Amino acid sequence: MQTNSKYILINNKKSMELAAVNLSGASVISIDTESSGYYTYYSRVCLIQISVNNKNYIIDPLSHLDLGLLKPIFLNPSILKIFHSASDDIKALKRDFGFEFRNIADTMYSSKLLNMEHNSLNYLVEYYHKVKLSKTEQKSNWEKRPLDKQQLQYAALDTAYLETIWSKMQEELNSLGLLEEAISEFEKITEEEYRGRETIQDVSWHKFPNILKFSPEERRNIYDILVYREEKAKRLNKAPFRVFNNEMITKIVTGEKSEEELMKLVGKKDGKDIKNILENPNGEPLNKSDFPKIDREITPQEETKWRQLHKWREKIIKKRGVDHSMILSNKQMIHFIRTQPKSLEDLFQSGFLSRWKVENYGPSLLKALASEPYEELLDHLKPIKTKK
């Protein structure tokens, strides 16, 4: 199949209506979005790309279009919607426009289930089509108007290959007995809700680059400056690293600096504020013992359960050869330790597991939570071979 790299820009009422008519009659469409998150604190969808019948539509939500025309299309169970990293796109589209989705496929999740060497769209396009996509616009400013041709071309190619990639992946998943598992996960993704970004109190200072190389006093200063940066980024609606980046923070906390030196680094206002922060740290120095644990308030009894669930997850990882992110996260396991689900339906209602995972992982998970033997309940799980 010859992939069409041309695009149709939808930025007025008439073109939006015509596109909606065309999309409504399709059986398969491919969807992607471009957002402002690389530049702004509060990310918003700046483009919606949809490919159908070898046509690539680029819909501009900033052009005051009637995007409600897309709602019945996204909800139509007879139209397959293909994404790459569906969870991210669907949450953003729900957040900004209130869209709901039925009948989706996700090539990123499928690549993980197929145990492919890499999971990026660029890799999949090269793997299945022997084409290398340009990466020049990955960090582009999608809020600016007008967008240039290079940006639009890049955006169009994000969906141009998805239908053929999914077609090949679907065959592979089916032949390996993994299609039912994939479809079940896709259904779960459509039900996920958007959750806002972490609060300022949750600044992850312990993830700062090379944090162990800093002294406890410097770590305290890093934390205080990260909080300051987060507050300012939120106030200005700028991505935090655009207020000042981690390299700048390292310069600030390394070696004693005068107010004048700080003002030269980050400007007059920030320089004065940061000097005050450095002279009046908000708390004690941060030692290695202060690094966040899985959960700061986990009890000894919960820790015993945690080790049991961690062992359970490791057995599945070894059995199937999948990454831990394909099973349950640490936070999700702690949730189950605290809520003590008693049935498979309780597990499903948590929203953490697809129906397939509830049916196939659930019985052993409940046994592990109850400190009962569960190994024989994993015997039916099939290993997934690495695909290179």
Range of the domain at 250: 200-290
Question: What pLDDT is recorded for position 300?
Answer: 84
Q: In this structure, are 28 and 94 located in the same domain?
A: yes
The answer to whether residues 114 and 384 touch, using CB atoms and an 8 Å cutoff, is: yes
Q: In this structure, are 277 and 310 located in the same domain?
A: no
| Residue 386 included in any domain | no
Question: What pLDDT is recorded for position 344?
Answer: 97
289-306 pLDDT, tens digit each: 888 876 657 888 899 999
Dihedral pair phi/psi, residue 383, rounded to 5°: -70, 150
350-370 pLDDT, tens digit each: 999 999 999 999 999 999 999
Q: Which of 264, 289, 259 is nearest to 275 (CA)?
A: 259
- Final residue belonging to a domain, choices 166, 191, 216: 191
- Final residue belonging to a domain, choices 290, 316, 339: 290
Query: Which residues make beta-bridge pairs with 361?
Result: none
Q: In this structure, are 152 and 104 located in the same domain?
A: yes
> In the chain, how many domains are there?
3
Q: Residue 308 and residue 305: Cα distance in Å, rounded? A: 5
Q: How far, in Å, are 226, 228, 252, 339 from residue 219 at the CA level?
A: 10, 14, 12, 35
Residue tagged 């007025």 (tokens): 12
Question: What pLDDT is recorded for position 299?
Answer: 85
CATH number of residue 355's parent domain: 1.10.150
Q: In this structure, are 170 and 112 located in the same domain?
A: yes
pTM of the model: 0.91
Alpha helices in 203-280 (DSSP H): 216-236, 240-243, 246-253, 259-266, 268-279
CATH number of residue 147's parent domain: 3.30.420.10
Dihedral pair phi/psi, residue 83, rounded to 5°: -125, 165
Q: In this structure, are 79 and 181 located in the same domain?
A: yes
pLDDT mean across residues, the chain: 93
pLDDT range class, residue 388, cuts 50, 70, 90: low
Question: What pLDDT is recorded for position 295?
Answer: 63
| Residue 335 included in any domain | yes
127-182 pLDDT, tens digit each: 999 999 988 888 899 999 999 999 999 999 999 999 999 999 999 999 999 999 99
Residue tagged 């800093």 (tokens): 214
Cβ atoms within 10 Å of 4's Cβ, excluding its own? 14
Question: What pLDDT is recorded for position 2?
Answer: 44
| Residue 131 included in any domain | yes
Length of the chain: 388
Q: In this structure, are 31 and 113 located in the same domain?
A: yes
Q: In this structure, are 256 and 348 located in the same domain?
A: no
Q: In this structure, are 163 and 137 located in the same domain?
A: yes
